[in-house]
Amino acid sequence: MSTAYHTLGLVQIPRGMVWVDEFSWSPVEKTTEYSTTGALLVDVGERLAGRPITLQATDEHGWLARTVLQDVLALAADPEGVYVFTHADGREFTVMFAPDDPVTATPFASTRPELPGDDYPYVTTVRLIEIEA
């Protein structure tokens, strides 16, 4: 079931914010090294958490209104914040904000009003990571 928005906790985020790194992560981690005898050793393990979920707007779509941006920033400021992220297509993930640079936002227009209103749009990137529920 598709909806017009994603949700992060109770905050509605426009589905125009695209999950840009959806296919850049693998649940399987493989490392290789050579033993002292010259044999190739392959270590394979399953990743249980850590998948990046980066929601990104562009100048053409997915802007956050100033009030929504403030709500997202309030969630990101909670040091113990763990949330359910529901993608617009209905998938759910237990997430926290990425530790480095969790939210970036710039005013939509090249010039910003001195006192932007609550609905003033921002081009925003929200960086989350999936955690083990």
Average pLDDT, the chain: 91
pLDDT digits (tens, 9 = 90+) for 65-78: 999 999 999 999 99
Q: Does 1 have pLDDT greater than 80?
A: no
**Average pLDDT of 81-101?**
95
Listed by start position, the domains of the chain span 5-130
Q: Please tell me the distance from the alpha carbon of residue 78 to that of residue 12, in angstroms, as a whole number.
A: 18
